[in-house]
C-alpha cells in the first residue's frame, strides 16, 4: 500500500474547512493553496510581495515536513484577484523557482478573504535523495 499522510500547519482554516496544508501520497506531495497568512500570529500583510514571501515560507515548511524542498516542485499555480499584483512578485518567485523551472499557471480569481492578494499551490515529487525532512527554506 502507498504511504499516505496529511501535513497540518496549525491554521484554524484547516479545522474549520476540513483540509490539510499538504498530503503526501507515495512519492507525490500536494500542497494546498497557501496564502500569505502568518499562522503563528494569524496575521496577513497588506503588501502582495510580503504575502508572496509568507506563502513561500508556509509552503517551504510543508515541503520540509514532507521530506522535500523547492527543488522537488514540479507544478506551481498562482492565484491572484488582481493581475497587476503578479509582476511585483516575480523576483520573489524567481528566487524559489528560477532554477527549478516547474510547470506554472497564473489565474485571476477571487480568494476567500478580501485581504488575500495571492495564493500559491504546488505539487512536488519526493525522491530517495530527498526522503529526509529538510529545512523549509532550502
Question: Using one digit for the tens of pLDDT, what is the confidence trace for 46-84?
Answer: 999 999 999 999 999 999 999 999 999 999 999 999 999
CB of 109 closer than 8 Å to CB of 79: yes
Give residue 115's domain range.
46-131
pLDDT of res. 119: 98
User: What's the mean pLDDT when you consider all of the chain?
Assistant: 91
Residue 31 pLDDT greater than 60, yes or no? yes
- Say if 40 falls within a structural domain: no
pLDDT of res. 135: 42
Once rounded to an integer, what is the mean pLDDT over residues 6-15?
86
Residue 134 pLDDT greater than 60, yes or no? no
Question: Using one digit for the tens of pLDDT, what is the confidence trace for 90-125?
Answer: 999 999 999 999 999 999 999 999 999 999 999 999
- Say if 15 falls within a structural domain: no
- Say if 74 falls within a structural domain: yes
- CATH number (domain holding residue 93): 3.30.1330.40
Question: In 10 A of CB 65, how many CB atoms?
Answer: 19
- Say if 102 falls within a structural domain: yes
Q: Kindly report the pTM of this predicted structure.
A: 0.89
CA gyration radius for the chain?
14
What cell was used for 36? 500569505
- Say if 73 falls within a structural domain: yes
Question: Using one digit for the tens of pLDDT, what is the confidence trace for 120-133?
Answer: 999 999 986 544 44
- Say if 3 falls within a structural domain: no
- Say if 121 falls within a structural domain: yes
CB of 107 closer than 8 Å to CB of 82: no
- Say if 88 falls within a structural domain: yes
Please tell me the total count of domains within the chain: 1
Amino acid at each position: 500500500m502507498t504511504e499516505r499522510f496529511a501535513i497540518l500547519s496549525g491554521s484554524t482554516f484547516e479545522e474549520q474547512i476540513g483540509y490539510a496544508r499538504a498530503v503526501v501520497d507515495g512519492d507525490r506531495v500536494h500542497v494546498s493553496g497557501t496564502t500569505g497568512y502568518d499562522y503563528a500570529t494569524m496575521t496577513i500583510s497588506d503588501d502582495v510581495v510580503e504575502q508572496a514571501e509568507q506563502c513561500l515560507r508556509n509552503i517551504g515548511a510543508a515541503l520540509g515536513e514532507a521530506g522535500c524542498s523547492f527543488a522537488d516542485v514540479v507544478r506551481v499555480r498562482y492565484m491572484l484577484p488582481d493581475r497587476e499584483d503578479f509582476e511585483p512578485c516575480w523576483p520573489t518567485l524567481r528566487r524559489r523557482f528560477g532554477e527549478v523551472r516547474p510547470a506554472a499557471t497564473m489565474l485571476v480569481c477571487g480568494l476567500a478573504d478580501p485581504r488575500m492578494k495571492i495564493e500559491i499551490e504546488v505539487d512536488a515529487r519526493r525522491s530517495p535523495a530527498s526522503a529526509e525532512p529538510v529545512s523549509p527554506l532550502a
